[in-house]
Each structure stands twice: as structure tokens, then as C-alpha cells.
Amino acid sequence: MSETRAKDQGRILRHPRFPSRYLSTPRDLVVYLPPGYDPAGAATYPVLYLQDGQNLFDPATAFAGHDWGADIAADRLIAAAAIQPLIMVGIYNAGIRRISEYTPTKDDRRRKGGKAERYAKMMARELKPFIDQHYRTRRGPQDTGVGGSSLGGLVSLEAGLRYPRVFGRLAILSPSVWWHNRSILDLVRAYTADQHARIWIDAGTDEGDSPAQVRSDLELLRAALVEQGWREGSDLRCEVVQGAGHNEWAWGARFGDVLQYLFPLEPERPARKGDRQ
């Protein structure tokens, strides 16, 4: 018997062609709502913004026909009281512009890249206010996450580093640390803010043609974060996933673990300033 998915229950909503003054093209959005979400209710929810939105909830739009099953993982964990009910916002990538928008620096040899700062600004200054206006969200950084895989992990990390008062939960899966002489490490080492987001970083043992280099790059990223004040066992978790490749199946398989780390179920609390009423 197949599992009933959120889209079949009307809990996956679409916002086509979201406009941005920071990006060259509009962007489709797809929004997951947790079971029991009531737009007229009193409950508010944390929000996780995810890159490559077409790969999250629907095999018909996903790369190679295999989505993450992010809705399945969230539904299962919410039902088991293992995570907080949350809203997830998938941001479709821009196809041929994906590499440029998701990378922190321009690689002159590849003649592309370096627009991640503008993309991060779009998420922080345009997309988040839009979602806060249209959905029942908790708005503080402790209730706002951003994440992605591969190059999507790079732009998500950049967003967290540039906007620590906006994004306080980061899901960085199989980040492409190698991009442009590992320029993302320079961005980490330049971090000076007092805030330290709760960060998940990982990589599989079977990624690409040089899996040992991928693991080495992950260690460089882990060490750079620790140098800037992140503490493993407190606000940083670094995982090496045995047998995992660089693909949607692998990322979806561990996405539940990511959710449990970033959004564990907490005791009921009074509404915080900024939560939608």
C-alpha cells in the first residue's frame, strides 16, 4: 500500500514566478505545510528554506525522477513527536543559472559563479518576509533554517554566515567545498558575528570520483567552523555517512536525521515577539 503524501492532502502549495529585484529571473516556490496546519488557527511554526525545491516533494519534477521525500520524513517524525511541526519552503533552482547563483565567488576559468550573496539577500530580505506574511510562522532566527545539498549547501551556508540574525538553523548536506579553490572557507574564517547558528554538515563516503577528497574537504570546513567558535556536540554536528553517494536518494535518506537535529521537539512555550498572531 503506497504512502499518502502531503501533496495528495493539499499540504503542498505553489507560488509560481516569485519576483526578486536581486535575481535575474523569477523563481517558483513550493511550500510544505505540516499536518493540522490551520491558516486561521493560533499555532505558529518554524520554517526551513531549502534549495533545489523541485527535488524535495515530487518525483515528477525531481532530478532523475527521485525526490527527497522531505514531506514523508517530516510527516513521519511529526507524527512520532520527534520534531517540531514545521513549514518547509522549496525554492526552485534556475537551471543554467544554478551554478552562478549558488556559488560564493566567480571562477574565471569556468566563467561563472559569484552570485550567492545576491541570492542570500533574496532569501533574507524578500522571500522570508513574503512567507511570514502569508503563513503562520515563528520569525526569529532560532525558528528559521536554511539548507541545501551540493552547491545548494554552499549558498545556504553563505546565507547563514551573512544573515545570522535571520537564519539560526543550517542544513549543509554534501557541500561543494571544492568550488573555486575552496573559497567558502575564506567566508567562514571571516565570520565575526556573536551569533552561532545550529549547523549540520555532512558528506558521504561514496561521493564522486574522489570520495577521499570530499571527506577531506568536509574536515576542512568542520575545522574552520570550530576555529570561529562553533562547538561540536553543542551547535555543530558533522557526519560522514557510510555508503552514501552524491544524489537525491542519499540526501533524502538522511534528511530525517537532519530535521531531528535542527528542529527537535521542545516543550510548549509562550509566543515570542515577532511570531505571527
What does each C-alpha distance from 24 to 90, 101, 122, 124, 198 come to in angstroms? 19, 10, 11, 17, 31
High-pLDDT (> 70) share of the chain, %: 95
pLDDT exceeds cutoff 60 at 208 = yes
Position 146: which residue type? V
Q: pLDDT digit string (tens) for 189-206?
A: 999 999 999 999 999 999
pLDDT at 119: 98
- How close are the terminal C-alpha atoms of the chain, in Å? 40
Q: pLDDT digit string (tens) for 22-53?
A: 999 999 999 999 999 999 999 999 999 999 99
| Centroid of chain to Cα 154 | 10
Q: pLDDT digit string (tens) for 65-77?
A: 999 999 999 999 9
- Number of Cβ atoms within 10 Å of the Cβ of 81: 9
Average pLDDT along the chain: 95
**Region 213-238: what's the mean pLDDT?**
98
What is the residue whose three cell numbers read 540574525?
A: 165
CATH of domain 6-262: 3.40.50.1820
Strand partners, 204: 241
Contact between 128 and 37 (Cβ < 8 Å) = no
Question: Would you state the cell numbers that stand for residue 271, as one nine-digit string?
Answer: 509566543
- pTM of the predicted model over 0.85: yes
Contact between 70 and 54 (Cβ < 8 Å) = no
Q: pLDDT digit string (tens) for 88-129?
A: 999 999 999 999 999 999 998 888 999 999 999 999 999 999
Contact between 10 and 71 (Cβ < 8 Å) = no
What residue spans of the chain are helical by DSSP H? 70-79, 98-102, 116-122, 128-134, 151-162, 179-189, 211-227, 248-262
pLDDT exceeds cutoff 70 at 273 = no
